[in-house]
Chain A
Amino acid sequence: MSEPAPKPQHLLWRWCAIGSAVLLLAVAFGYVGGWLAPKRLTAQRIVDALQHNGGVHPGYRRNHAKGICVAGYFEGNGAGSEFSRSEVFTAGRTPFVGRFAVPGGNPYAPDGSVPIRSMALRFSLANGQQWRTGMNSMPVFPVSTPQAFYEQLQASQPDPATGKPDPSRLKAFFGQHPETAAFLAWVKTAKPSASYATESYSGLNAFYFVEAKGVRHAVRWQVVPEAKDAAPGPAGDTDYLANDLRTRLAAGPLRWHLMVTLAAPDDPVDDATKVWPADRKTLDVGTLVIESEQAQESGPCRDINYDPTVLPDGIEVSGDPLLPARSAAYADSYLRRTGEEAHVPGAAHADPSRQEHP
């Protein structure tokens, strides 16, 4: 072995410099990853809060857990092509896999427990792109930011004594959040519907349609049903929605019109609590045709994450702060439930002692 180089001067400082460089990089990584910032709102904390309120139901979505898969196609009429270059708006058919659901984290919740229903769609375009959207049967979202949504989840935590949210905490939350007024006004008169088929579903968040030339238009969309026999849900039955859908589809396909509303220049595009005035230009860009349904436990919608930021060329996200939060939280919920299906280490298991459903 050759003679080692002479011992360098300031050896301690040299070791400190090496240690600091490595430590600094590790701490920066820990900070960005949220481990060293325990108060920062993360996707994982939002899903933890949903899971806390709805319970852990392995394999199921952490929100809108109860639902049913559907499949069909969108028949574009070409009217949307003036505003978006996406292939989905040209005249012609685009197949989709969809899902109807009821909000909340409990897959066994009674259908009448909430007056809201949701519709999610994943369009598979011929060019290989996808358009995913998750819509709700209400005109506005209660809150405009992820932080406020997290606070709403905390205020709705079930009281251990009653198993229901504490009304005083909810009241305090809504008092501190005046932006919830439009939602509260709507929910006051809303009744749980007897059918998924008679509801309108709104995309809530604004997006941009992009023309072939690159011109952007702020839009919101809503699907409006052809079925007009809306009725409140029957008392005493907890699972009427799936049965109603099955019965209707046995008689023939169900149809909705995809209505796209264009914003005026001053309309808010980053605030899902505010509706746009009713006189805004609205286009019927085509018909959604649902042909079949399937139980979600084995249906094609089970392993789809209806992340509303998965968009084709020709549609872009707006600056609405709820959109990135939905994307991040849905991804975390998706990983949890697929991990439970795959029995990866650390995934939640079904607790046989707490079987809530046959």
Chain B
Amino acid sequence: MNAPHAFHPLARLLHWTMAVLILAMLFIGVGMVTTVSGKHQWLLAIHRPLGATLFVLVLLRLCVRLRFKPPALPADMPALMQFVAHASHWVLYGLMLAMPLVGWAMLSAGGYPVMLGSAWHLPPLLPANGEVFAWLRLTHRYLAYLLFLTILGHMGAALYHALIRRDDVFPSMTFPSLAHAPSPEPVITADDASSIPANEAEGHIVEPAAPAPTRPPAAPEE
């Protein structure tokens, strides 16, 4: 087992920062398109620059994800559950990348200036075209619903790991020192495991892996 026992601290910081911002973004989005109150203006004013920020953050996060190997899922998780965990994480990455791009393209196609502040704006991604706008606007809406549903599932699954399975998945994205389950391979004791600095675990990545991997590397559980 050369996978670390927890996510890199930078990955954890990005995960929780983006979790708060993305949830805020979804609520801002669904609120601003319906409300006719004064909130409409300031929600709209937050939505665009926050979307641009999240786009930068997700690019950074992808780099962190590819640079630092995530911990493997518990070996005793059923294969189907493992598959759903891995697949849902790549769906989340895909949606986090797609939402800001679709939003930017949609405003461009609608002929709107993509204002990030009172004076600052992004160049258009596409030429103005009402029909393209309509398709992108609906795409933005339904991808947002899908993102929200995936987040609900992700949150439920994280709590399932924390409260029902009580394995090390939840601590691996929160406080790795709380991990309690003994390692499946009794190479190191639980005490040793909790004292391994994260960057030591990360060092394993550059080592040539001795046994040829018999299955694809584990996708992140975050």
Contact = CB atoms under 8 A, between A and B. Distances in A.
Interface stretch (A8-16, A162-170, A190-198): A8-16
B133 A317 contact: no
Interface stretch (A71-79, A244-252, A327-335): A327-335
A328 B40 contact: yes
B209 interface: no
Nearest to A4: B76
| B interface: dominant SS | helix
A33 interface: yes
Interface stretch (A215-223, A282-290, A298-306): A298-306
Interface string B17-32: 0000001001100111
Interface residues of A, number: 59
A84 B128 CA distance: 28
A332 to B, nearest CB: 8
Contacts of A11: 164
Contacts of B35: 34, 42-43, 324, 328
Contact of B130 (A46, A128, A317, A338): A338
B163 A17 contact: yes
Interface string A285-319: 00000000000000000111100011001001101
A43 B34 contact: yes
B167 interface: yes
A48 to B, nearest CB: 12
A313 B34 contact: no
A5 B44 CA distance: 48
A58 interface: no
Interface in B142-182: 148, 152, 155-156, 159-160, 163-167, 181
A231 interface: no
Nearest to A305: B110
Closest 5 CB pairs of A and B: A303-B130, A342-B131, A313-B119, A324-B40, A325-B36
